[in-house]
Structure formats: C-alpha cells, structure tokens
Structure 1
Amino acid sequence: MLDYTHDTALVFASFAVALMAGFTGLSLTRGASELPVGQRKLAVAMAAVSLGGGIWSMHFVAMLGLQLPIPFYYDALTTLISALLAVLMTGVALLVVHFGTRTRGRIVLAGVIVGLGIPAMHYIGMSGMQLCRPVYSVAGVAGALLVSVALSVLAFLITYSRRERQNIVLGTAGFGLAVFTVHFIAMAGTGFVAQGGVSGAGPVISNSALAFGVTMAVFLISGAFLLTGVTFLPAPVAAVQGPHKPPQPQPVALNSLKVPYEKDGRTYFMDAFRIAAIQAEGHYTVLYVDDQKLFCPWAIAAAESRMPQGDFVRAHRSYLVNRRHVTGFERKKDTGICYFDTVPALGKVPVSRARLGHVREALGL
C-alpha cells in the first residue's frame, strides 16, 4: 500500500465549496412549493445543479488534494458520470419534497436518496483514478454509507421542518458536514496500490491548478444563482414598490362589497362581511354564511382578487377565510387549523404549510 497525505489548503477549500453550494441550492428552493409548476421545476433544476454539483465538486477538490508518492490523474468520462449521478440523485430528492404533500416521511426519503448518492458518487469517482488503484475496506464502505444517510436525513429534516432563514443556514451546515465527513470516512477506509505504467505521462494540468479552477467555477456559478434566483433576505419596501410603480387600485371596503350567489334560478347578493369563508368547488365556489352554504358563480381565483385582502386571506388552495369570523387557531407542526365556532355550516378550515405564515400574520400571531 502507498502512503498518502492531504493538502490542507485544498481540504479547507473543499469544505468551503460544500457550504457555498449547499447554501445556494437550499436557498433556491425556499418558497418554491408556492410557485407555478413551470417556475418550480426551474427552481428545483437550478438547486439540483448547485447541490449535486457541490457534492461532486467537494469530492473532486478533496481528491485533487490527495498526495501520493506517484503521479496520478482521473479518467474524464468516469469523473463526468460521477458528477451527473450526484446531480441526478439530488434532483430526485428535491422532486420528492417539492412536488406532492410534504410529510416527514417524504423529507426522510429525500435525505436517504441524497445519503445514498454521496457515497455512490464518491466511489464511482474514485474508480476513475489512473496510474494507481484504490482498495476499499468493508468497514470503510459501510461506515461511509451509514454516516452519509444519517447526516443527509438530519440536514433535510432541519431544512424542511420550517422553511425559514435559520433553518436554511443550519441545513447548509448539516449538508456541508455530511458531504465532508462522508468523504474522509471513506478515505480512511481506502488504500492505494501502484499500477503498471507509473512512468507514463500524467495530466496536462496539475492537480492543484485543476482544484483551483473547480473551486472558482463553483463559487462563480453559485454566486450567479444567488444573484438571479435567491430571495434569502427580505426585500426593502422601496425595492419592492419601486419609485416609478404605477398606482394600484384601492381594495373595495368590506362593508360595501356584494358577492353574487345563485338560488332557485335567481341571482342574489350577499354582503361580503357576512361571509366566513369561501371554498373552491370546481370552477365555482361555495360561500359559508352562518348555517348556510351558498353557490357562487365566481372561481376561487376571482374571489381572491375581488375580496378585500386585509380581511380575506388564502388559507389553503381551496379556501379563502374571513379573519373577522375566525374564533380560534391551532398550530399542527408545519400546518394549522382555523376554527369558526359561530359558523355551524363550516366549523373549521385547514391551513396549508405554504399559507401558514400569511394566515398567522393576518390573525396577528
């Protein structure tokens, strides 16, 4: 077996790469579940490139910092396959948590997918070494798999338990630690033996120069994504409104708005302030007023745009609620329930994870 060491500077550079890519990828998907499907797919794709590329880049930079007593380099095709695998596995994990109802089980599944992808990428990349051959121990492979899955699941649970800024920061630290730790646990269980042709030609670019180029590329790509797609910090009011934004129409006052409903072949009008909630019913809606359920010809999107937004808030994709009629609120992990004790026809309305912050703000919580 050959003795080996690591370039300390490249070890630290690899960890910085993992943190930068992790922060970019996790920030890109913040609020993605509320976007239209097309924009959500774009955000997930960008995040997959950033996260998956960060996993591979951390590994590659750390491997370029490997110092052996013989020259060595990496097969380009094998290296490319390992990079594409990291992006693919990360993309699948992000699809799991951003398409469909997000549950704890789906978050754990996403973490397991990434946790399996990290060591798979590592060992495929290692198989591309030229002029020397890696030799693995069973304990090293098993340890890398177990630690990778455990830390990846933990990072996803932290990041997706609540999609707030502090969760993204803590999730980034967990993600970076997972990739970094798995790499060096795997390396601790790996030995190297020289192959024939040691005197052959090595790579045209030195490992140190290549590591510098990869690190710079990751930071430039992540920086571009951060500038174009991430809204991590709250935007200033002036930036949101803009100095030249045309004046917006003023919302209709709650006590002056009449909402149409149909009954017995006739169209009637209900005072908006009496409506406790509006529920989507296909292309139409149902109005909840006291103990009545009234058929309204408006679609839920039209109702949302016409109702006074200071009073009516979207609690769920199927519900608009009038905060003045809410008699109680209950938090359930990352969702909630609004109670309407004085509206027998309604009782309660679910609050989705994506709408939880808006509802709590409207209720003064």
Structure 2
Amino acid sequence: MEWLGLKMFAGLPATGQIILECRHNPFLVLLAFSVASTACFATLDMAERQSHSDDLTARRQWRVLGACCLAGGLWAMHFIGMLALQAPLDIHYDALLTGVSLLIALLVAWLTMNCLDRTDLSLGHCLRMALFIGAGISFMHYVGMAALQTSAQQYYQSGLTLTAVAFAMATSLAALLMARHFRRGSGTLHLLMKYGASLLMAGGIVITHFTGMAALTLVTPDDSVLRLGSNDNNLQLALTIAFITLLISGGSISAALADKKLQSKEHDLRRVNLLLSQLDQARASLQQAAHYDALTNLVNRRGFNQVFAERLAELAGSEGMLAVMFLDIDHFKRINDSLGHAAGDELLKVIAGHIKAATRGHDLVARFGGDEFCIVTRLNNREEARHLAQRIMLRMKEPIDLAGRRMVMTTSIGISIYPDDGRSTEELLKNADLALYQSKGCGRNSLHFFNNGLKTRATLELQLEEELRGALFEARGLCVHYQPIFDLHTGQVAKLEALVRWQHPQHGLLSPERFIGIAEANGLITDLDLWVLRQACEDLAELGRRGHERLRVTVNCSALTLGREELAGEVEMALFQAGLEPSHLELEVTENALMGDIQHTVSLLKRIRAQGVALSIDDFGTGYSSLAYLKRLPLDVLKIDRSFIQDVPGSQKDREIVQAIIVMAHTLHLKVVTEGVESHEQREFLSTHGCDFLQGYLLSRPLALDELGPLLERLEREQTSLTPCCDTALPASPGLFADSPDLHAGASTARRGH
C-alpha cells in the first residue's frame, strides 16, 4: 500500500539498492527528548491552571496555551528526530507537508486539552480519547515522514509500524490519566511527581517516534544516482526549532507559575479577610460585653461611665440637678452560699427587673458587678431622689419565688446629688459609695444621702496615704502574697502572681482595694510597683533555692510605671540583684495602660522582652485597646478577665466570647490565662476549649511565702503519686480555698494584680 509516497505494509522490492547505514545523531536525539519533556511539563501545568480557573475566558486562554505547548513539543520532537537521521543521501523537506504535520499536531493538542477540561473525565472516556489522540500523533508522524524528500523510497515494516501506533495510543492514555491526576494537588511531592510524569510522557512520545523510524527502510532504485547529502545545517535548524519550542514552553510555565502564586495570594487574602471578619465579630461581641452586663442586660460599669459623662456634660452650665444612687443587695452572699450561684444569678435577674420597673424610662440603670447596681436620674429637688429610692426599696420587698423557696430581699442605697455633692463622675460615685457604706453601717435596708459628716472617711484616707508612704519608703508593713497559676496541661503550678498586701499596725492586713487607689492618686504607685517587682524576684529566687526552679512570677505594671523610660533598666537591675534569670519573670500590663503613647509603649516593651522577660496583657476585654494595637504589641500571654468567666458555663454569650478570645489569642501565638475560676464547671469548660493556664479561688487563694512552700511541696507529692493517664487533672482540694472569706472579693483582688 502506498500513501503520500510512503510504502506502508509492503515488502521490500526484489531489485534496488537497500540503504542500511542510517544512524541518528545522539545529541539531537537527546535534544528532542528534552524538548518533549519540557513541553509535557508545560502541558501538565496548563491543564492544572485550566482546571483551577473559574473564569471561562481564562480557561480558554490556558487551553490555547496548553495546546500550543503540547503541539510544539510533539512537532518539534518529531522534526528534530528526523533531523537527527544520518543517511548517505541528499535529504530535504517539503514545506507544505511539514506545515500540514504541524497543523495535525495542533489539532491533536487541542483535542487533548478539551478532553482534560472535562470535570467527569472517566476511564472509558480516556480510552476513547487515547485512540483518537494516538491515531492523530501517528498521522502527524507519517505526514511529517512524507515531507522527507530523498532519492530513495520509504518502506515501512508492518510489525514495527503497528507497534509505533500502539505506543502512540498507550502514551496518549498514560498522558491523559497523569494529567487528570495532576490537575489537583500542591507541595514539593506533587511537583516532583509532575517532573517524573513529564519524563515518562516524553519518553513515550520519543519511543513512539523512533519505533516508527525503526520501521523505515530506504531503498534506492537501480537506475538512480546516489548523491551524498550534506547535513551541516541540520544542527543549526534543530537548535533553532528547539529554542523556539523551549521559549514557548518556558514562557508558558512562567505564566502558570505567576498565576499559581497570584491565586495562592488571593487564597491567602481570602483567608486573612475571613479571619479579620471573625476578629471583627469577636471585637463586636467584646464591645457589646464591655458595655452591657450579660446576665441582666443592664449597662455595665464601662457603659455607665460613658453615658454618665455625657449626661454631666449636658448639665454643665445649667441649674439642673442629678442624683446618683448606689444600691447593694443586703446579705446577697448568703443566697450564693446556700442555694448556689445559679440561683443567685436568677435572683439578680429578678432584682434587675424590679429596679428597672421602679425607675423611669430615661433613668440610667447599671449593674457594676456582683450585687451592686447604680442609678442616675434627673431631679427637680432632693425629695424626688428620696421618693425614687423608697419606691425601689418597696418594689424590692415583693416576695420572690426562687429554688422552691419564697423570700424577700432588701437593699441599702447611698445617694449623692449633682452639683451639691460633686461635679465629676468620680466624685459623685465616690460620695454615693460613701453614703452606701453609711446605709450598711446603720443596719441595712435603708437609704442615706451623702453629707459632710462622711468626710471623716476622707480624713482616714489621708491618714492611710501618709502611713502608706512611710510603709513604702521605710520598708515596714508591706508584704507580697502569691496566688498560684496552674498549667492545664501538667496540672502543676507554673506561675505565681505577686499581690501586694499591707500589714497595718491598727487596721490589720489590708487588701489592695484599701490602698492601691491612694497610691495611684498620690503618685506612689510607681514606687509600689518597683518594690513589689524587687520583692517578687527575691522571693522567687528563694523558692528556686528550695527546689522550685521552674516557677515563674508575674508582676503587675501600672500605667504610670509603664510610662517610665527607666523601666527596662529597673527590671534588669531587679533580676540582677535577686540573681534570677529573666525567663522566670513575667510583667502584666492592662489594656488601658497601653493606650497612652503606643509607639513609646511598644518600644519599651520590646526592650524588656529582648532581655528575656515575658509580657502579659491583663484584664483583656475590659479596657479600651484596639485589636489593631494588639497585633503590634510584643506579648506572650493574654489573661481573660474574670467578668467573662463568672457566668460560664451558664451564659451562652459569655461562652462564645471566651471561646473567641482563646481562638484569637492562639491565632496570634499567645498563651491564655483565665483568672477568677471559681467552679469545677468553669474549669472543665476552659480545659475543653484549649485554655492554657487557670487562676482562681477554686484552685488556691493568694498565700504568703511561708504558706506557699508547703503547698507547692504537697502538690508535687500528689502529682508524683498519680497513675499516668491521658489527661492530667488540676488539684481541687478544698483545703486550698476553704479559708477564703469571700471568693468574689478575693478574685477581684487578684484581678487588680496588686
């Protein structure tokens, strides 16, 4: 059979000269293989980009580019393979047939890329397409061979010819299957496998070509003149074709790589936007929780301060009057102790409803925490305030059904009047609080207005200020207690929070709320902070000498102290004098303390952290800081304020907020400490949701150094006696907190960090 001058499936003639000495240039063979490998890799890349593109125009562009790469690789490998043929004949090529072979290669490549664009590329479809593509490759090959013009005739052996066609179809099937597999995936292993697949595909194409060439026998007629050929330009022509093909493939690969990087960046950007959206939602939840009480839905202290300041500004310069009322539920602690915190929460909801019902719509009603409420109302005279307070007290006396019991609650109320008793938020609240203390001191269930007789308490405050100054600078009376912070993963005490106490000669052991405000108001807070820092370092060094080398101590740093340029040097000096490694110290700063000169604060904290000292943000969620600032700060630890945990797990909002804070902190690579843990349910909730450290009266009250040593030794003995298991439980011995007079007061003290 003769086709395009080719003797297909025909025997050799009886006469004629058979040319047997046909060899191939090994360099050009290797070049052909390299071109095919590069084109195959580029085609796999184009198929991958095509499948990853959602835009139809982009998919069409990648399909065209992939078809060009594959067609160029097939045709260039075939043509360079023919140029590699070294025969003692004058060989030239028919331009028209050569162009036709290139068009066939383009058609085959376009068919291949269209096939790869199918989402349901099944094995049966691959088999059918492999037959068409293999036939097309064989057709391109023999059209290209027909373009080879010599004085000899081309005869093809039937067996090798069919073998070459079979190789073409098998290679097409393998290429389709591998391209289908490599449309998805990423990473180094995926890339290495794609390299290997490219080499296998190129090897199959080269084998197909040279198997077809092996079937070729050149026969010259008897009467023809044998003219020796010159192949001097074959190398130059092969290199030119290879360069153009490699340029197309390389450009395509570069485009695919750039698109992949761009798509990866878009994916990362979407992830960042999603995370930012989640953080915005968490921030909105935090802001809601920061202004409203989750239990009663009344305004909380922060929201109250904001609204109260606005109302005072409205009254400035006018003759209007305003009353501030502090309410405290009498003997509320007994409800928690006898009926439990859940019953206490239900009671607070009812009481909040009673207070809201007794007030007017424009009155500001807030819950400050615990059983403390505050009301701000506009007045025409002082008697209106008295009538409102009496109406609230009367409403409070209505029987309440709670936990199967019928009870009647009473309240003590303290009242201050604007402008008679003060013109600022702080002054009016302070005077109302003084009046409330007077109501409690008079037997409760009563109301009192602020009067000048209450200024004796202010005199006492002045006396405490003078005595505090002497205690601080003469080193007498002040001491540091330590509340253990437990590691949830090991169950052991990991850190100690340093809390200052004052052993007053007349008033006994004073907690921080009695004198921290005095220190802050009179410029003593910085000296007090540094004294606590030095004492805590010395005490921890002493504990280390007793065998507790792994403990760390956390020391609170107030806003005034954080504003000192010398703080970094003072921290370093305290560590040096105590002989303590910086890694054993952790400084706690509050959100509000960070909000001064943020650039100066960040610079100072970085200098401290560079020493090896850890940094913690305290009372998170209760201050005024921004999440944009949080990511700039060189922090290690985030402490969740007890106001978010006190209603967990009963409050769904608080649970969601705490979960959001933990996820956000871990996203920013921060450890999480939760303070104010007072129940086993809270501990279990925090353990389940990935909290790192716990602190609270459930685990231990603040202890003096002498009491702390035996506690640590006992906990270590209990830990070593436990049978190893998957989860480590924190110690929950009642002896750790049974002697606490008031869990809430103790937790509030710990929250202040002094």
Q: Secondary structure at the match of 1:102?
A: coil
Asked which structure has the greater CA Rg, the reply is 2
Q: Is the 8 A contact 1:115 1:150 kept in 2?
A: yes
- Aligned residue number for residue 324 of structure 1: none
Residues 1:220 and 2:239 aligned together: no
- Give the counterpart of 2:178 among 158, 166, 171: 158
Residues 1:193 and 2:219 aligned together: yes
Output the amino acid matched with 1:226.
Answer: I
Q: Is the 8 A contact 1:93 1:109 kept in 2?
A: no
How far off its partner does 1:29 sit?
A: 1.7
- Equivalence map 1:98-113=2 (5 Å): 98-113=117-132
Output the amino acid matched with 1:44.
Answer: R
Q: Distance in 2 between matches of 1:223 and 1:187?
A: 28
Output the amino acid matched with 1:186.
Answer: G
Residues 1:15 and 2:33 aligned together: yes
Q: Secondary structure at the match of 2:48?
A: coil
- Aligned residue number for residue 173 of structure 1: 199
- Aligned residue number for residue 89 of structure 1: 108
Kindly indicate whether structure 1 or structure 2 has the higher relative contact order, using CA contacts under 8 Å at least 6 residues apart. 1
**Post-superposition CA distance 1:309-354 (Å, at most 9, x none):** xxxxxxxxxxxxxxxxxxxxxxxxxxxxxxxxxxxxxxxxxxxxxx
Q: Per the alignment, do residues 120 and 67 of structure 1 end up closer, same or farther by CA in structure 2, a change over 3 Å counting?
A: same
User: What's the RMSD between the two structures over aligned residues?
Assistant: 3.3
- Equivalence map 1:188-337=2 (5 Å): 188-194=214-220, 199=227, 206-230=233-257, 250-251=276-277
Q: Distance in 2 between matches of 1:56 and 1:121?
A: 8
Residues 1:139 and 2:159 aligned together: yes
Q: Distance in 1 between matches of 2:86 and 2:198?
A: 29
- Aligned residue number for residue 51 of structure 1: 70
Output the amino acid matched with 1:87.
Answer: L
Q: Per the alignment, do residues 227 and 144 of structure 1 end up closer, same or farther by CA in structure 2, a change over 3 Å counting?
A: same
Q: Per the alignment, do residues 169 and 254 of structure 1 end up closer, same or farther by CA in structure 2, a change over 3 Å counting?
A: farther
Q: Per the alignment, do residues 112 and 254 of structure 1 end up closer, same or farther by CA in structure 2, a change over 3 Å counting?
A: farther
Q: Secondary structure at the match of 2:106?
A: helix
Q: Secondary structure at the match of 1:30?
A: helix
- Aligned residue number for residue 260 of structure 1: none
- Aligned residue number for residue 116 of structure 1: 135
Q: Distance in 2 between matches of 1:197 and 1:80?
A: 29
**Post-superposition CA distance 1:22-50 (Å, at most 9, x none):** 11111112141242221111101111110
Q: Secondary structure at the match of 2:277?
A: coil
Aligned structure 1 segments of 4 or more residues deviating by more than 4 angstroms: 195-203, 231-242, 252-257
Q: Is the 8 A contact 1:97 1:110 kept in 2?
A: no
Q: Distance in 2 between matches of 1:46 and 1:61?
A: 22
How far off its partner does 1:57 sit?
A: 0.5
Q: Distance in 2 between matches of 1:232 and 1:109?
A: 32
Q: Distance in 2 between matches of 1:238 and 1:98?
A: 24
Q: Is the 8 A contact 1:20 1:222 kept in 2?
A: yes
How far off its partner does 1:251 sit?
A: 2.5
Residues 1:71 and 2:90 aligned together: yes
- Give the counterpart of 2:51 among 33, 43, 62: 33
Q: Is the 8 A contact 2:155 2:217 kept in 1?
A: yes
Q: Distance in 1 between matches of 2:227 and 2:135?
A: 36
- Aligned residue number for residue 149 of structure 1: 169
Output the amino acid matched with 1:75.
Answer: D
Any stretches of 5+ residues in structure 2 without a counterpart? 1-17, 285-754
How far off its partner does 1:83 sit?
A: 1.1
Q: Distance in 2 between matches of 1:202 and 1:17?
A: 25
Q: Secondary structure at the match of 2:70?
A: helix
How far off its partner does 1:82 sit?
A: 0.6
Q: Secondary structure at the match of 1:144?
A: helix
Q: Distance in 2 between matches of 1:110 and 1:168?
A: 22
How far off its partner does 1:192 sit?
A: 1.1
Q: Distance in 2 between matches of 1:191 and 1:85?
A: 24
Output the amino acid matched with 2:209.
Answer: H
Q: Distance in 2 between matches of 1:229 and 1:153?
A: 24
Q: Per the alignment, do residues 186 and 254 of structure 1 end up closer, same or farther by CA in structure 2, a change over 3 Å counting?
A: farther
Q: Is the 8 A contact 2:71 2:109 kept in 1?
A: yes
Q: Is the 8 A contact 1:59 1:183 kept in 2?
A: yes
**Post-superposition CA distance 1:246-284 (Å, at most 9, x none):** x96942677999xxxxxxxxxxxxxxxxxxxxxxxxxxx
How far off its partner does 1:75 sit?
A: 0.4
How far off its partner does 1:120 sit?
A: 1.3
Q: Is the 8 A contact 1:90 1:113 kept in 2?
A: no
Q: Per the alignment, do residues 90 and 197 of structure 1 end up closer, same or farther by CA in structure 2, a change over 3 Å counting?
A: farther
Q: Per the alignment, do residues 170 and 106 of structure 1 end up closer, same or farther by CA in structure 2, a change over 3 Å counting?
A: farther
Q: Distance in 2 between matches of 1:108 and 1:235?
A: 35
Q: Secondary structure at the match of 2:219?
A: strand
How far off its partner does 1:117 sit?
A: 2.1
- Aligned residue number for residue 647 of structure 2: none
TM-score for the superposition, normalised by structure 1: 0.61
Output the amino acid matched with 1:187.
Answer: M
Q: Secondary structure at the match of 1:169?
A: helix
Q: Is the 8 A contact 2:39 2:73 kept in 1?
A: yes
How far off its partner does 1:169 sit?
A: 2.4
Q: Is the 8 A contact 2:89 2:229 kept in 1?
A: no
Output the amino acid matched with 2:162.
Answer: A
Residues 1:184 and 2:210 aligned together: yes
Any stretches of 5+ residues in structure 1 without a counterpart? 258-365
How far off its partner does 1:207 sit?
A: 1.6
Output the amino acid matched with 1:25.
Answer: T
Q: Is the 8 A contact 2:97 2:143 kept in 1?
A: yes
Q: Distance in 2 between matches of 1:107 and 1:97?
A: 9
